[in-house]
């Protein structure tokens, strides 16, 4: 009987010390409450259950509980059990100092890189999760294939072929925790191939550059202009990281001649093209630019993610590898796929058409925001040029020379978080700096969009 009660009870770690079991237990419980380890309202195990766990008499536990109830540390009510009393426990460590006002959370956020998280399709995702858990075989909950669940890889292969023009089978697709995780895996593959230098766009995410650098690879910047990255400046690079469908952050697609040139370079030299297709599904004025991978699946590695289409917190991404690299990627100890249940849910979400419906709905919503941004600037700041708006979730606002940091500070004063273009500039590029803001119009929830737009107008010169 004692074993049954212990099994059904609430687990609680205690180490009674000192003379006498009752006193030792009482002291241990009091200390756990006093230091905050047991927080107010926490329900304690029944006296029978705790006695079985500790291997002592039930009366000893009941007496200890009664002592602490009398002292005010615990409360005991019929039907509610024994709980930690609602009182302020002394903190075990000094409370951290309040952060200065300048680091307070902004009222509005127009930083790029995050979609409108309030629009996450919770109901449809929950339905997909229920179907996934119901249909999943028991074996799906094991360690499984290092590439990820076959259901998701198969669904992704079909979706990417249909929507992005990617040429792959499920066997060459690896599920990962996002593009950053994918780059960590690829860095190991590149080192194994003897690559020491990776070309990157002169304007891009420092997070990705830093990952490559920490992996022991040198990055060299490619100039970026109105035709995208200058792929004629690859030099001695053994690989190149590009955002060809919608260059981040300038927003221009890679020109067809440069797309052909970089594929020719890879074919000629044996180099690898790493294609980050982070928001390729969001194009507004014409059909999306197809994936570069479709031109040469043997030399282009395709990286995608659900971070912009759904939410970055899902930590779901994918890497489409040339067949010759799949084994190398799986040999890397960093090749750990995300949770199985999330993979199965996304597979259901894709297969049911819910993903397509969500992306189409989001595309309409973001296009309306983009149009509202352009119209507001035309009316209130006609001297500010807007570029990079044909696709994606951000726009680039061209500013007068020497004003970028002033505008960023003015935006902060109005409670608006926004990034200047200089934040994305490679530290070793020789490209002349440009003053601009990178405005993520996809970030705010719907109820905050108007306020964010007003704050932006007030911050502009």
Q: What share of the chain has pLDDT > 70, as a percent?
A: 94
Q: Hey, what CATH topology would domain 2-84 get? A: Arc Repressor Mutant, subunit A (1.10.10)
pLDDT of 100 reads 45
425: which DSSP letter?
B
pLDDT of 4 reads 41
Q: For the chain, how many residues are written?
A: 461
Give 309-358 pLDDT, tens digit per residue.
Answer: 999 999 999 999 999 999 999 887 777 889 999 999 999 999 999 999 99
DSSP string of 280-316, one letter each residue: TT-B-SSPPPPPGGGG-TTTEEEEEESTTTT-GGG--
pLDDT of 334 reads 73
pLDDT of 39 reads 92
Whether pLDDT at 6 is above 50: no
pLDDT of 94 reads 53
Using CB atoms within 10 Å of the CB of residue 257, give its burial: 0 to 12 exposed, 13 to 18 middle, 19+ buried: exposed
Structure tokens at 44: 């304690």
Q: Which residues of 73-92 are buried (b: 16+ CB within 10 A; e: fewer)?
A: bbbeeeeeebbbbeeebeee
Higher pLDDT residue, 362 or 5? 362
Cα angle, residue 440 at apex, residues 434 and 441 outer, rounded to 5°: 125
pLDDT of 74 reads 93
Longest dimension (CA), the chain: 84
pLDDT of 30 reads 92
pLDDT of 2 reads 39
Q: Which residues of 296-332 are buried (b: 16+ CB within 10 A; e: fewer)?
A: bbebbbbbbbbbbbbbbebbbbbbbbbeebbebbeeb
Structure tokens at 160: 């990417």
Query: Domain 120-353 carries which CATH code?
Result: 3.40.640.10
Structure tokens at 323: 């067949």
Whether pLDDT at 54 is above 90: no
Whether pLDDT at 233 is above 70: yes
pLDDT of 452 reads 96
Q: Hey, what CATH topology would domain 108-115+357-459 get? A: 3.90.1150
Cα–Cα distance between 416 and 106 in angstroms, integer? 6
Give 104-157 pLDDT, tens digit per residue.
Answer: 689 999 999 999 999 999 999 999 999 999 999 999 999 889 999 999 999 999
Higher pLDDT residue, 102 or 360? 360
**Bridge partners, residue 416, by sequence:** 108
Give 23's contacts (C-beta < 8 A, 6+ positions apart): none
Of the chain, the end-to-end C-alpha distance in Å amounts to 77
Q: Which residues of 365-395 are buried (b: 16+ CB within 10 A; e: fewer)?
A: bbeebbeebeebbeeebeebebebbbbbbbb
Give 244-274 pLDDT, tens digit per residue.
Answer: 999 999 999 999 999 999 999 999 999 999 9
Give 70-94 pLDDT, tens digit per residue.
Answer: 999 999 988 778 999 987 545 455 5
pLDDT of 93 reads 53
Average pLDDT of every residue of the chain: 91
Whether pLDDT at 60 is above 60: yes
Q: For the whole model, what pTM was predicted? A: 0.86
> Residue 224: what are its φ and ψ, rounded to 5°?
-120, 130
pLDDT of 207 reads 95
Give 273-294 pLDDT, tens digit per residue.
Answer: 999 998 888 999 877 789 999 9
pLDDT average, residue stretch 426-434: 89
Order of strands, edge to edge, in the sheet holding 395-398? 385-387, 395-398, 436-439, 419-420
Where are the chain's structural domains? 2-84, 108-115+357-459, 120-353
């Amino acid at each position: 009987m004692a074993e049954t009660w212990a099994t059904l009870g609430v687990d609680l770690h205690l180490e009674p010390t000192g003379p006498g079991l009752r006193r030792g237990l009482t002291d241990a419980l009091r200390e756990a409450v006093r230091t905050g380890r047991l927080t107010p309202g926490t329900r304690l195990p029944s006296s029978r259950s705790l006695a079985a766990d500790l291997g002592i008499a039930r009366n000893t536990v009941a007496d200890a509980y009664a002592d602490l109830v009398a002292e005010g540390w615990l409360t005991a009510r019929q039907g509610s059990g024994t709980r930690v009393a609602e009182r302020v426990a002394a903190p075990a460590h000094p409370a951290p100092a309040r952060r200065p006002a300048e680091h307070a959370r902004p009222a509005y956020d127009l930083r790029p890189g995050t979609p409108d998280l309030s629009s996450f399709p919770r109901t449809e995702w929950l339905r997909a999760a229920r179907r996934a858990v119901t249909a999943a075989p028991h074996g799906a909950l094991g360690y499984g294939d290092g590439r990820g669940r076959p259901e998701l890889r198969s669904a992704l292969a079909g979706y990417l072929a249909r929507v992005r023009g990617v040429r792959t089978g499920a066997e060459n697709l690896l599920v990962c925790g996002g593009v950053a995780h994918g780059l960590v895996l690829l860095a190991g593959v590149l080192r194994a191939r003897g690559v020491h230098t990776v070309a990157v766009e002169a304007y891009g995410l420092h997070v990705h550059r830093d990952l490559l650098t920490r992996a022991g690879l040198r990055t060299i910047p490619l100039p970026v202009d109105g035709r995208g990255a200058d792929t004629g400046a690859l030099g001695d690079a053994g690989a190149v990281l590009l955002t060809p469908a919608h260059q981040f952050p300038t927003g221009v697609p890679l020109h067809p001649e440069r797309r052909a040139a970089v594929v020719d370079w890879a074919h000629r030299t044996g180099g690898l093209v790493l294609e980050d297709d982070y928001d390729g599904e969001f194009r507004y004025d014409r059909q999306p630019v197809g994936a570069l991978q479709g031109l040469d699946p043997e030399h282009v590695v395709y990286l995608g993610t659900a971070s912009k289409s759904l939410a970055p917190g899902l930590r779901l991404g994918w890497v489409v590898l040339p067949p010759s690299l799949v084994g190398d990627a799986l040999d890397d100890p960093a090749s750990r796929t995300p949770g199985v249940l999330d993979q199965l849910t996304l597979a259901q979400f894709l297969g049911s058409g819910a993903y397509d419906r969500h992306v189409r709905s989001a595309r309409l919503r973001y296009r309306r925001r983009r149009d509202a941004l352009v119209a507001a600037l035309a009316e209130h700041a006609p001297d500010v040029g807007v570029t990079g708006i044909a696709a994606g979730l951000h726009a680039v606002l061209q500013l007068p020379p020497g004003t970028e940091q002033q505008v960023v500070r003015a935006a902060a004063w109005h409670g608006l978080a926004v990034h200047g273009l200089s934040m994305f500039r490679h530290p070793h590029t020789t490209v002349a700096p440009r003053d601009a803001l990178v405005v993520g119009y996809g970030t705010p929830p719907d109820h905050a969009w108007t306020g964010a737009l007003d704050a932006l107008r007030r911050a502009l010169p």
